[in-house]
A and B are shown apart, each in its own frame.
Chain A
Amino acid sequence: SQQGEEDPQALSIQEGENATMNCSYKTSINNLQWYRQNSGRGLVHLILIRSNEREKHSGRLRVTLDTSKKSSSLLITASRAADTASYFCATDTYSTFIFGSGTRLSVKP
C-alpha cells in the first residue's frame, strides 16, 4: 500500500503564482524527500528534510515537516511554466523508500 498520499492530485496555476502541495504518511520516518517527474521521464531529487527538521529551503522551494501530524508540504514560489511536472513525496522508512501518489502541477504562461 502507498505510504504517502498527496493532495491535491492536480493543481493548475498561472505563472508567477505560488504552488503548494501536501503529503501525508503513515509510519515513522528517517527523512522525507520530494522528487519531480517530467512526463514519462525518470524522477529527479529536489530536496530532503530530516525527521528532526521542521523547515528547509532550496532556491524557490520550501519544505515543511510536521512529524506529529505525519505530514509535509512543498511550496514552489514564483512558479514558471517550466515547473510543470508531477511532484512526489518519498518517505525513508529506515528500510526503503515509499512514494506517494503524486501531484500533477500545471503552470500556465
Chain B
Amino acid sequence: DSGVTQTPKHLITATGQRVTLRCSPRSGDLSVYWYQQSLDQGLQFLIQYYNGEERAKGNILERFSAQQFPDLHSELNLSSLELGDSALYFCATGPGQGATGELFFGEGSRLTVL
C-alpha cells in the first residue's frame, strides 16, 4: 500500500459528460502529479501541484483542469469527454517542491467513455 488513495477506481460515462477524479496524498507529501495512461501505453504527464500551487504543466488538454486544496488532496476535472479520453489516470505524490526522491502512486482511476 503506497498510502496514496484515488477515487473512484472505475468510472463509466458518456461522451460530452464531465467527471472529477480525486487523489489523497501520503501523509506529509506536498507534491501531487497527475498522469494519463492509455491502453498499454506509457504515462503522459498532465500537471503537477506543490502545496496548493501549480508547478509544472505537461500535455494537459484545455478540457482538463486540476487543483490542489488546502488539505493537500487534489482533483482532476475532465469535461466534454471524448472516446479518446478513456484511460487510466494516475495520481502520484512526493514530498518535495521540485522533482526530488521517488514518487508514490495510487492504484489509478480507470475511465471509460462510451
A residues adjacent to B (C-beta < 8 A) = 1-2, 30, 33, 35, 40-45, 48, 88, 90, 92-102, 104
| Contacting residues, chain A, for B4 (C-beta < 8 A) | 42
- Name the segment of B12-20, B62-70, B74-82, B105-113 touching the other chain: B105-113
Contact A99/B88 with A42-B106, A42-B108, A92-B100 known, Cβ cut-off 8 Å = no
Number of interface residues of B (CB under 8 A): 30
B residues adjacent to A (C-beta < 8 A) = 2, 4, 33, 35, 40-45, 48, 55-56, 58-59, 88, 90, 92, 98-108, 110
Contact A42/B90 with A96-B58, A99-B35, A100-B42 known, Cβ cut-off 8 Å = yes
In angstroms, Cα B88 to Cα A88, docked, is 16
CB distance B99 to A99 under 8 Å?
no
In angstroms, Cα B39 to Cα A104, docked, is 13
In angstroms, Cα B108 to Cα A104, docked, is 19
13 CB-based A-B contacts, threshold 8 Å = A35-B105, A40-B110, A41-B108, A45-B102, A45-B103, A45-B104, A95-B55, A96-B33, A96-B99, A99-B42, A100-B42, A101-B42, A104-B40
CB distance B33 to A42 under 8 Å?
no
| Contacting residues, chain B, for A94 (C-beta < 8 A) | 98-99
Closest B-chain residue to A10, C-beta based?
Answer: B40
Contact A44/B105 with A92-B99, A93-B99, A96-B58 known, Cβ cut-off 8 Å = yes
| Contacting residues, chain A, for B92 (C-beta < 8 A) | 43, 97
Contact of A42 among B2, B41, B59, B99 (CB under 8 A): B2
Q: Tell me the minimal C-beta distance from B92 to chain A in angstroms.
A: 7
CB distance A98 to B88 under 8 Å?
no
Closest A-chain residue to B103, C-beta based?
Answer: A97
CB distance A96 to B45 under 8 Å?
yes
Closest A-chain residue to B6, C-beta based?
Answer: A42
Closest A-chain residue to B2, C-beta based?
Answer: A42
Q: A1-B59, A90-B103, A101-B41 are in contact. List 19 more A-B contacts (CB 8 A).
A: A2-B42, A40-B110, A42-B105, A42-B106, A42-B108, A43-B43, A44-B2, A45-B103, A45-B104, A92-B100, A95-B98, A96-B48, A96-B56, A97-B33, A97-B92, A97-B103, A99-B45, A100-B42, A101-B42
